[in-house]
Amino acid sequence: MSFCKHCVQGVRHEGTPEGKFETIGGIKTYVATPTGEYPKDKAILFLTDVFGPELNNNLVRLPPLFLPHLILTLTLACVGFDRDRQLLADDFAKNGFQVYLADLFDGDPVPAEGLSPGSTFDIMKWFPTHGPNVTQPKVEALITALKAQGVTRFGAVGYCYGGEHPDLSLSIVP
């Protein structure tokens, strides 16, 4: 995997996440739930960049999300999508779908100081123990656990590093 200079930089924003962390399939997962009625058989997997689910930072607010009968896979570039993934997951939930934001790095994402100019963090030293061979089974465990809870339709959004997982992960959904 190659990295662009934007994979380890971003912009910080403020906000208060509304979801909660749960352990699903053995994976720490931020769960954003709509406030009203929503289809319990549908879920959106939110797969983050290298900063993981707890970095309180994101630049975007997307328009209302429509999950068609087909699987939706959206992969976005690294640039500018490194802020509050929890707030973004909450925004997706406000559009009527439960959202699952898994901690693929077991609490060891690229540190927030990796955003700072002059950071000495070396992503090439971090990556061998955090690559797809380690994270992909976690995505699959989450999908398996959600299927056991009755979810039959999945959508996925992946940002930068997380963009590699949706096609691989959703291929296990019949």
Q: Report how many domains make up the chain.
A: 1
Residues of the chain above pLDDT 70, percent: 68
Residue 2 included in any domain: no
User: Is 11 contained in some domain?
Assistant: no
pLDDT on residue 22: 95
Q: Is residue 79 part of a domain?
A: yes
Task: Say if 95 falls within a structural domain.
Answer: yes
> Lowest mean pLDDT: which of 25-29, 84-88, 101-105, 129-133?
84-88
Q: Which residues in 25-121 belong to E strands, given as ranges?
A: 27-32, 42-47, 73-76, 98-102
5 or 103, higher pLDDT: 103
Q: Which domain holds residue 134?
A: 20-171
Whether 48 is in a domain gets the answer: yes
92 within domain boundaries: yes
Q: Report d(CA 123, CA 66) in Å as an integer.
A: 35
Q: Please, which residues bridge with residue 154 across strands?
A: 43
> Average pLDDT, stretch 50-58?
67
Residue 1 counted as domain residue: no
Residue 3 domain flag? no
